[in-house]
Amino acid sequence: MSEIKRIGVLTGGGDCPGINAVIRAVTKTAIFDHGWHVLGIEDGFLGLIENRTRPLARHDVGNILTRGGTILGTSNKADPSRFAVERDKAGNAVFEDVREKAAAHYRAHQLDALVVIGGDGTMSCAHAMAPLDVRCVGVPKTIDNDLMHTHITFGFQTAVEIGTEAIDRVHTTATSHHRILVVELMGRNAGWLTLHAGLAGGADIILIPEIPYDLGKLCEFCKERMGKGRTSTIIAVAEGAAPAGGKPVVDRTIVDSPEPIRYGGVGHQLQRQLEMCSGFEARSVVLGHTLRGGTPCAADRVLATRLGHKAIGLLASGKTGQLVVVQHGQLSSVPISEVANQQRRVPTDHDLIRAARAVGTCFGD
């Protein structure tokens, strides 16, 4: 690999706490340690397709460590391999492969490599750009914590804190009114966020996509609790959870997105079902994008800084096509090809599930 002089940085997929901390670490490490020029690409791969960029200097990334979101913007629809260029007369999206257009902008800015911050969808886009000689290093970002080969992604720990606090808060109102209270969390079809927040928040029932639930067993569990004098039942449910033999509740389908299926609504559905079959009053709360917003926790700020610094270290050593990962507490890297189009889900024999069952938590199975 030739000597690096100019790099780009972009953030793709959904936003999450800690992205700005990575941008800061990438930019300052590149400038201070190596004397490289850094170009910020706006709105993920969409900015590379549309040629929307801006230089990043040290003052551009000052005081952004604590800010949520991303100063560069992001997009979860801009897949260069399958980009919606227009709509036909029937309103259907017309897709084209615009990778060469994106690569031309990469070359026009004389970039030597890209630091791509994102989840599995973003890494799939980065992997697809490799044949066009667009060199990338990835940084794992998702509140879902579902990227393959990394034990943790930045943004996850903050989302767990937010989810835990929300569950903590509904305990008091559920107890006051003797209710079943259902809290729906994000995570797509991986249950890491709901499992961690549910366990930390003391949820009585935790429902995750990896373990199909039985509505009858949930009703019996709630009635048994109330029959023993318990004044409430708290349920943490992942948006992708589904009953045995059934499918997750789909909120909507976005055809021009690399991830078209958007889950949502299982919390409200469970509230109605449990109210009818148990005879107890029930309410539901959907945390939704609350889990993505706000200031990153200290642990995510530290992790994001380490990951950004490591990404520049990989480039400096001539390594591209790699994703920075955390394995057994240590930073390492794996080929982006090994995480593209894949998802890390919760093993049903995971020690957290065993620990939760041991303290009486119901998983609906």
The CATH class for the domain spanning 6-154+296-338 reads alpha beta
Question: Phi first, then psi: what are they for 8, rounded to 5°?
Answer: -115, 155
- Output the pLDDT for position 92: 79
pLDDT of residue 258: 63
Query: Which sequence positions are flagged as catalytic?
Result: 144
Q: Tell the burial category of 103 from Cβ atoms under 10 Å away from its Cβ (0-12, 13-18, 19+).
A: middle
Confidence (pLDDT) at 20: 97
What pLDDT score does 122 carry? 93
The whole-number pLDDT of residue 79 equals 92
Ordered per-residue pLDDT tens for the chain, 365 residues: 568 999 999 999 889 999 999 999 999 999 999 999 999 999 999 999 999 999 999 999 999 999 999 999 998 888 999 998 888 777 778 889 999 999 999 999 999 999 999 998 899 999 999 999 999 999 999 999 999 999 999 999 999 999 999 999 999 998 888 899 999 999 999 999 999 999 999 999 999 999 999 999 999 999 998 878 788 899 999 999 999 999 998 888 776 666 778 888 999 999 999 999 988 899 999 999 999 999 999 999 999 999 999 999 999 999 999 999 999 999 999 999 999 888 999 999 999 999 999 999 999 99
The pLDDT assigned to 359 comes to 96
Cα(323)–Cα(346) distance, integer angstroms: 21
CATH superfamily of 157-293: Phosphofructokinase domain (3.40.50.460)
**Contacts with 39 (C-beta within 8 Å, 6 or more apart), sequence order:** 6, 7, 8, 9, 53, 54, 55, 56, 109, 111
pLDDT score of 2: 64
> Which residue intervals of the chain bear CATH 3.40.50.450?
6-154+296-338
Q: Judge contact between 255 and 77, C-beta under 8 A.
A: no
Tokens representing residue 347 in the block: 């093993």
pLDDT in tens, 87-117: 877 777 888 999 999 999 999 999 999 999 9
Per-residue model confidence (pLDDT) at position 90: 78
For 304-331, how does the pLDDT look when each residue is reduced to its tens digit (9 = 90+)?
999 999 999 999 999 999 999 999 999 9
d(C-alpha 117, C-alpha 140), whole Å: 6
Contacts of 13 (CB under 8 A, 6+ apart): 44, 74, 76, 118, 119, 121, 122, 141, 142
Helix 351-358 to helix 192-200 angle (10° resolution) is 30
Question: Which residue from 226, 248, 158 is spatially nearest to 196, judged by alpha carbons?
Answer: 158
**Residues near 267 by beta carbon (within 8 Å), at least 6 away in sequence:** 182, 183, 184, 237, 284, 285, 286
Domain with CATH 3.40.50.460 in the chain: 157-293
Contact 117, 11 (CB under 8 A): yes
Report the amino acid identity of residue 54: R
- Chain-centroid distance of CA 223 in Å reads 35
Specify the DSSP element, H or E, that contains 302: helix 298-316
